[in-house]
Amino acid sequence: MLPHLSSNTVFLPQKPRSPRLQAWLWSLFFLGCALLLSIPAARADDSGQPPIDARAYILMNAQNGAIIAAKNAYQPYAIASITKLMTLYLLFKDINAGGLRLNQEFVPCQAALQTGGSSMFMHPGLRFSVAQMILGMTVPSGNDAAVEAAYLVAGSVPAFVREMNQTARKIGMLSTTYYDPDGLPHPNNTASPYDVAVLTRRIMTDFPQYMHFFNHENFTYAGITSPNPNLLVGRVPFITGMKSGYTDAAGHCLVATGTQNGVQLIAVILGVPSFTDENRGFWKASWQSLKLLDWGFARTLWLPSTPHLEKTSAP
């Protein structure tokens, strides 16, 4: 591995190497090349799809909706906090309509304070802005933030959930059923990878001005700093977001978006096998998402097109 070079690195002239040393270095170089060439490259499985360790996944081109790769993509599964993408979509819609403002401040309602699970750590009487509430959902996946958003947009959780389901039907999410705004376990809170990709694409195209909320590595509120379970954010330059989720029923789930050379891809991975250590599970989900995006960019940008994979409707 090459050493890290800072802007202060100084290169000093070196003594010329002896012919014997040069010959030995060239031999070592060619041996290394031969060893690398002998290692088999990662290959797609017999179906031509990438070998992703997950219950289901889909890879979609965000610009035209073309499907590049898919596995069990049209079956509904538990989606955990991926649910919050619809909560955020409706919140963005309300902000654009003038109902809420990003700098507007509130104190949390009782229902938000009583919501369990992952949290942005709302406290009684502690003010938060709408922008902080958004980050509370996109980074630590705060269930308290999602419930608060439901009350601010629709006045109650049941009214907001009705709007979630109505919107899902309107934008073509025909295999999705929402029962809460946060993704806490419910046997019928499910969506297909295809539906999640459709929703993600709508967020990217309808509200590009809010995409920066999905690209934060950490979020600090109430004196507590929470890391983003999407471990690609802040570490892989072409990653632009987007949302993680985990429950025992759903396993580890991740929606990852990326842009290279003007091409935008959406990777939705549901049901990565869970581990006792939840952080290790998110590491694996992030790794599987990166593999899928790399596979997609390779075929979209550098390899011949594969029209038989680019289907935009269920089989």
Nearest to 92 by CA among 83, 102, 106: 102
**Both structure tokens of 176:** 């999705």
Give pLDDT, residue 49. Answer: 81
Give pLDDT, residue 145. Answer: 98
Q: What is the DSSP string of 126-143?
A: --EEHHHHHHHHHSS--H
Summarised one tens digit per residue, pLDDT across range 61-103 is: 999 999 999 999 999 999 999 999 999 999 999 999 999 999 9
Give pLDDT, residue 307. Answer: 52
Nearest to 54 by CA among 64, 65, 45: 45
Gap between the Cα atoms of 123 and 116, Å rounded: 13
pTM: 0.81
Q: Are 267 and 276 in contact (CB under 8 A)?
A: no
Active site residue 81: yes
Distance linking the first and last C-alpha atoms of the chain: 46
Q: Are 258 and 277 in contact (CB under 8 A)?
A: no
CA distances 260 to 136, 240, 243, 293, 298, Å, are 28, 10, 19, 10, 10
Summarised one tens digit per residue, pLDDT across range 249-276 is: 999 999 999 999 999 999 999 999 876 6
Give pLDDT, residue 55. Answer: 94
Active site residue 84: yes
Q: Are 60 and 69 in contact (CB under 8 A)?
A: no
**Both structure tokens of 250:** 């759903």
What letter represents residue 126's amino acid? Answer: L
Nearest to 179 by CA among 162, 198, 192: 162
CA distances 95 to 140, 156, 206, 209, Å, are 22, 17, 12, 12
pLDDT per residue, tens digit, the chain (315 aa), is: 333 333 333 333 334 444 443 443 333 333 333 333 333 334 455 557 888 999 999 999 999 999 999 999 999 999 999 999 999 999 999 999 999 999 999 999 999 999 999 999 999 999 999 999 999 999 999 999 999 999 999 999 999 999 999 999 999 999 999 999 999 999 889 999 999 999 999 999 999 999 999 999 999 999 999 999 999 999 999 999 999 999 999 999 999 999 999 999 999 999 998 766 666 788 999 999 999 999 999 988 876 555 555 444 444
Give pLDDT, residue 301. Answer: 83
Indicate the helix (H) or strand (E) that contains 287.
helix 278-297
Active-site residue among 118, 119, 141, 274?
141
What letter represents residue 68's amino acid? Answer: I
**Both structure tokens of 99:** 């109902």
What letter represents residue 18's amino acid? Answer: S
Domain ranges of the chain: 56-306
| CB < 8 Å & 24+ apart, contacts of 247-251 | 247/78, 247/80, 247/183, 247/184, 247/185, 248/185, 248/274, 249/78, 249/80, 249/185, 249/187, 250/77, 250/78, 250/79, 250/80, 250/82, 251/54, 251/55, 251/78, 251/281
Secondary structure string (H, E, C) spanning 82-108: HHHHHHHHHHHHHHHCCCCCCCCEECC
Gap between the Cα atoms of 154 and 133, Å rounded: 16
Active-site residue among 84, 192, 244, 274?
84
Count of all residues that appear for the chain in the document: 315
Gap between the Cα atoms of 137 and 182, Å rounded: 9
Q: Are strands 128-129 and 105-106 parallel, antiparallel or unpaired?
A: antiparallel
Active site residue 141: yes
Gap between the Cα atoms of 162 and 244, Å rounded: 23
Give pLDDT, residue 282. Answer: 86
Active-site residue among 71, 81, 119, 226?
81
Instruction: Name the CATH topology of 56-306.
Output: Beta-lactamase (3.40.710)
Give pLDDT, residue 299. Answer: 87
**Both structure tokens of 183:** 């993704």
Nearest to 180 by CA among 280, 86, 49, 57: 86
